[in-house]
Amino acid sequence: MSELHRGAPRRITVVGEEILTRRCREATEFGTPELTRLIEDMFATNHVAEGAAIAANQVGVDLQLFVWDMRDERGTHHIGHILNPVLDDLPADQRTLLEEPEGCLSVPGPYRVVARPDRAVVRGQDQDGNPIVVKGRGYFARCLQHETDHLHGRLYLDRLTQRERKSALREMAASQDEVFARRAARSSSAASSS
């Protein structure tokens, strides 16, 4: 992936930071060098953090954008980006609710079971402003929904009961130093190999 090798990892925002709690601004400028650099940096950041996907507000940028680079449960590799994503409201008879563990790069460490539809259709634009439609099932559908939530100021923690949320935050506090150290080591390794 060329974006991965050109980009530079950025700091990942964590739960409690204000940028993660509000709706991101709509993208109105496309095809710029700044947007290209942001997308490249987001791919690099996601790779260093061993993530499936990452939203722009997770690297401190107020913009409706996320990127993904992941394998689903069938081994299919999904890679791409989308700006101004809007999830289709799929009829109930076309989807099944799945309860699966979910984690987040901005909540380093814990995973919790979150119920989400097994299918997702997201409409938006690519970096040049062209309309795109991205469809996903299973884990990839969960990823598309999770990242769209980010751009609306929601974390997966917001879908948990208060008790589950407190438990996840305690677990995060206990494990985040280890997670940050692993990310820093991968970042250093990536920088020295480029």
Question: How many residues does this entry show for the chain?
Answer: 194
CA distance 156 to 2: 30
Query: Does 147 participate in catalysis according to the annotation?
Result: yes
> Nearest 5°: phi and psi at 170?
-65, -45
13 Cβ contact list (under 8 Å, min separation 6): 19, 20, 57, 58, 59, 60, 106
CA distance 67 to 185: 22
Helix (H) or strand (E) holding 56: none
Q: Which amino acid is at 184?
A: A
Annotated catalytic residue within 147, 164, 171, 178:
147
Query: What residues act catalytically?
Result: 147
